[in-house]
């Protein structure tokens, strides 16, 4: 039986903090089951954040699990739209 995990990230998902966020994601990815990310507290989000989300999604998909985005903040929604990833990642809107 798989367990769903919720990880709240923020306030930044940018280049200066990418390594720290990556560490949080790697730890969460080491658990079985899908991963839910609460992105409601993110105020700064750039292409590093996009790369981290795509890498997490790819890792989860490889083992048959899902990445679910919840409460995506306006900066996250805007970046996903700019990169054409709104439909791909399907963030849950607040």
Domains detected in the chain: 5-89 (3.30.750.24)
Mean per-residue pLDDT for 40-60? 95
Would you state the structure tokens that stand for residue 77, as one six-digit string? 């929604």
Residue 24 confidence (pLDDT): 95
How sure is the predictor about 87, in pLDDT bands with cuts at 50, 70 and 90? Answer: confident
Residue 1 confidence (pLDDT): 47
Residue 86 confidence (pLDDT): 83
Per-residue pLDDT tens for 73-84?
999 999 999 999
- Confidence (pTM): 0.88
How sure is the predictor about 62, in pLDDT bands with cuts at 50, 70 and 90? Answer: very high
């Amino acid at each position: 039986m798989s367990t769903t995990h919720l990880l709240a990230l923020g306030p930044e998902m940018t280049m200066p903090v990418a390594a720290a966020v990556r560490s949080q994601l790697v730890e969460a990815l080491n658990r079985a089951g899908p991963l839910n990310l609460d992105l409601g507290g993110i105020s700064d989000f750039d292409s590093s954040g996009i790369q981290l989300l795509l890498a997490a999604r790819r890792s989860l998909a490889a083992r048959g699990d899902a990445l679910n985005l919840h409460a995506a903040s306006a900066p996250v929604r805007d970046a996903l739209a700019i990169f054409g990833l709104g439909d791909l990642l399907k963030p849950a809107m607040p």
